[in-house]
Chain A
Amino acid sequence: QVKLLQSGAALVKPGASVKMSCKASGYTFTDYWVSWVKQSHGKSLEWIGEIYPNSGATNFNEKFKGKATLTVDKSTSTAYMELSRLTSEDSAIYYCTRSDTLDYWGQGVMVTVSS
């Protein structure tokens, strides 16, 4: 069965960066785009962007350009998202999900930005 297993929660200082992972299993990793979605506390969902593992091609929400970097490691079927120059506004849960219908989701990574 399709699974997306994300890395654990992170507590990071303002101004720092954080890199999280999303390990896919149960399907051919290179056949599907992987999207990343942000959910701030008690709020709705925001699409950050997506990456196509086969080519590394990306599409981004303009709001997150310069904030998020998406990469993949095809050898381990793992997608990564790095968030840079963190502020309190980046404190949220971040999900990876398989595109294009966002049909399978990881369990989410809680990122807390605090000094």
Chain B
Amino acid sequence: DIQMTQSPPSLSASLGETVSIECRASEDIYSNLAWYQQKSGKSPQLLIYYASSLQDGVPSRFSGSGSGTQYSLKISGMQPEDEGVYYCLQGSKYPLTFGSGTKLEIK
């Protein structure tokens, strides 16, 4: 199985701060990488797919980049509603596998 190593496990950011979360795959996943946000008690919501495509309705302060085995999610200007847990997902090879999550809080 492809292992997704996500970092950092937790992060605290001030309002307006730019935040980055990383995911490293154990092998090349050819940009088949998605990012999800999960707020407390809610289902995950898709933010970014195919590494850098913004899902409809997602604010433009979210962006994704990367290729090969290294990917990142950037939030340009932290907002209160961005608190939650963020997960990456690789869809290159079965079984699909998720990162372990990054808990993002307001400082």
A residues with CB within 8 A of B: 35, 44-47, 49, 59-63, 95, 100-108
Let me know if B96 and A35 touch, CB within 8 A.
Answer: yes
Let me know if B98 and A47 touch, CB within 8 A.
Answer: yes
Q: Please give the distance in Å from B101's CB to the nearest CB on chain A.
A: 5
| A35, B44: Cα distance in complex, Å | 13
| A62, B99: Cα distance in complex, Å | 18
| 24 sample A-B contacts, Cβ–Cβ < 8 Å, listed by A number | A44-B87, A44-B98, A44-B99, A45-B44, A45-B89, A46-B98, A47-B95, A47-B98, A59-B94, A60-B95, A63-B95, A95-B44, A101-B34, A101-B46, A101-B50, A101-B91, A102-B36, A102-B44, A103-B49, A103-B55, A104-B46, A105-B45, A106-B43, A108-B43
Residues of B within 8 A of A61 (CB): 94-96
| A102, B50: Cα distance in complex, Å | 12
Residues of B within 8 A of A63 (CB): 95
